[in-house]
A and B are shown apart, each in its own frame.
Chain A
């Protein structure tokens, strides 16, 4: 049962344009959502998170939107830069779950072309 799903394995955008990465979830108990960026052979790096009491959180070029009724979140990167090229994972956790364990999506490979 894939509780967190990223339906696009890859996304390609031009430098300077907006990148939009999407993520859907099925577990209504999830109340904290995160985005991580990962380069090959390295660990994921935390980018931005959002609590279920909010519908938007911004940090510089990165904005995460949460639509609870649709069980959907998205990460917007504006403007996109070649250094943003990486695999992006969304993850979710439920406060009621022991250990604040995260459930990850499969990842989306973002390529930003100069």
Chain B
């Protein structure tokens, strides 16, 4: 059974720092991996999608990497801003035959001005 874990659970950094959020999954046979942002009491905003054949994806100040064989993904945020404060969720899709996403518990990020 696929399990997704995110470390750390919470992170507080000063504005301008570069930071890395970690996601690990127990079954390396994934179809793709998606990173989301969730603001308090709100929905999930898709940030980046990495297919199983890809190593990384970039969008603006965000860069996500995938090492499928070791069951790990990282989300790198460059030059963090207070507006980046939110919970970041990692989710994996097991195969092309399922649309089900399995989520980690998230990393809650606070960027202090």
Q: Do A and B come from one complex?
A: no
Residues of A within 8 A of B (CB): none
Residues of B within 8 A of A (CB): none
